Amino acid sequence: MRPIRTLALLVAVVALAVVASPAPAAAKANKEHAIHGVVQSIDVGGKTFTVKTGGHKNKKTGETTPVVEKTFKVTDATTFVKTTGEKGAETTTTLKFDEIKEKMHVAVTANGDVAVEVKVGHHHHGKKKPAA
C-alpha cells in the first residue's frame, strides 16, 4: 500500500510542476523588443522623430520585409545612449534629443508610440572581424 501512495504523491507533484511552469514563460513572451531602423526626420519643437525600418531581403526565402515608418514621441523620461568601441569593450555615453540626426541608426524601445530608450551606434550582427 505504501508504494501506491508514494507513486500517487509523485504523480501529483509532477502534475503541479507542469501546471505551474507556463506562468514564467508567459512573462518572458511579453518582453518588448527594440525597433531597429534609420532616423528619417526629427521635429525638435514637437519632440517627435520618425524611424524607417524594414526593406531587408531574407537570404533563405527571398522575401523582402515591408518598409515601415514609425513616429515616436519624446518625453522627459526618454533616455538617449550612444554606444562606441569594439564588441566586448564598448563604452556608452548619454545624449540629448537635439543631438539625434537624420540617417543615424537607432534601436528604439517604446511603450506604444512613446520612446522609452533610444540607443544610437553600431549594431553587431554576429560577424567577427578577422584577427590581425
Predicted confidence (pLDDT) at residue 128 exceeds the cutoff of 60:
no
Contact 33, 108 (CB under 8 A): no
Per-residue confidence at 34, pLDDT binned at 50, 70, 90?
Answer: confident
What is the 8-class DSSP label of residue 17?
A: H
Higher per-residue confidence, 11 vs 3: 3
Q: In whole angstroms, what is the distance from residue 22 CA to residue 128 CA?
A: 36
Mean per-residue pLDDT, 87-99: 87
Torsion of CA 42, 43, 46, 52, to 10 degrees: -40
Q: What pLDDT score was predicted for residue 19?
A: 55
pTM across the whole model: 0.65
Reported as a single tens digit per residue, the pLDDT across 41-75 is 999 899 999 999 988 888 999 899 899 999 999 99
Residue tagged 503541479 (cell numbers): 16
Which residue segments constitute the domains of the chain, with CATH numbers given? Answer: 1-31 (no CATH), 32-121 (2.40.50.320)
